[in-house]
């Protein structure tokens, strides 16, 4: 059971906008910045969004992040076939004194 | 460029220990914490803890306290993570990772080390 709650799956057609939610509590999302990771099968996760809405070099601006209260969201606009992957949210939890992850959301392009 | 190169796959028996290494290059090893994250097959990511190569200080997720030890050797820019009293539930891919500018945004990852615990 993950500390952060994500929907197990999300889908859309090419060109659509898909949003993934990440729900937590005051001790984690409510008090700290959120990062998003993307993972392809058999590979290490890749940092996609950091500090809520910043993109590392090389990540297209089709990916955006936001946070409100104890929830965060990742939006993928202009969905492409190679966006199919598993996406994880993560943040620090002040009560647990550790990093916590969501269970991951698998995005499928229909 | 920043690289984290991990040691190879391991097969261990229940009750044994395993030590995974993570050799860093492309940056000053002592300037950034190394985090360890594991992932069981088909499961999510689980943070295990962090280690500061400069001070040697480490912090562990509550679940792993007393069973995991994270250390570093600054002379060879290598971090280590040892897990003792292995059970089948420790079968997973273990990743080392470094923050983008420090902190918890893990921008650089090793390729992972598969640890299989089986009798």
pLDDT at A93 over 80: yes
Measured from the Cβ of residue A10, the count of other Cβ atoms closer than 10 Å reads: 18
Q: From chain A, pick out residues whose CB is under 8 angstroms from the CB of B105.
A: 35, 47, 50-51
pLDDT tens, residue by residue, B36-73: 999 999 999 999 999 999 999 999 999 999 999 999 99
pLDDT digits 0-9 by tens, A29-53:
999 999 999 999 999 999 999 998 9
Distances (CA, A) of A63 to A88, B1, B19, B90: 13, 24, 37, 34
For testing contact with chain B, the best of A98, A104, A105, A106 (most B CBs within 10 A) = A98
A97/B62 CB distance under 8 A: yes
Other CB atoms within 10 Å distance of the CB of residue B60: 20
Minimal CA–CA distance to A35: which of A22, A49, A46? A49
Q: Which of A43, A47, A97 sits opposite B106 (nearest CB)?
A: A47
| Chain B residues whose beta carbon lies within 8 Å of the beta carbon of residue A103 | 44
Determine the Cα–Cα distance for residues A94 and A96; give it in Å rounded to an integer: 6
């Amino acid at each position: 059971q993950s500390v952060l709650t994500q929907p197990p799956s999300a889908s859309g057609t090419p060109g659509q906008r898909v949003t993934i939610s990440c729900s937590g509590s005051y001790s984690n999302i409510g008090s700290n910045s959120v990062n998003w990771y993307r993972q392809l099968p058999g590979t290490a996760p890749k940092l996609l969004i950091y500090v809520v809405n910043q993109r590392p070099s090389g990540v297209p601006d089709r990916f955006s992040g936001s946070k409100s209260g104890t929830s965060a969201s990742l939006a993928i606009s202009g969905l492409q076939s190679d966006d199919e992957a598993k996406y994880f949210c993560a943040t620090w939890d002040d009560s647990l004194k550790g990093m916590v992850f969501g269970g991951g959301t698998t995005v499928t392009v229909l | 460029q920043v690289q984290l190169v991990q040691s190879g796959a391991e097969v261990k028996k229940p009750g044994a220990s395993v030590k995974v290494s993570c050799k860093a290059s492309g940056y000053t090893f002592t300037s950034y914490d190394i985090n360890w994250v594991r992932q069981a097959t088909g499961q999510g990511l689980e943070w295990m803890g962090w280690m500061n190569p400069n001070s040697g200080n480490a912090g562990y997720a509550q679940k792993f306290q007393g069973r995991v030890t994270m250390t570093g050797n600054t002379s060879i820019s290598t971090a280590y993570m040892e897990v003792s009293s292995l059970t089948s539930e420790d079968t997973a891919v273990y990743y080392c990772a470094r923050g983008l500018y420090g902190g918890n945004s893990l921008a650089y990852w090793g390729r992972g080390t598969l640890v299989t615990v089986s009798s």
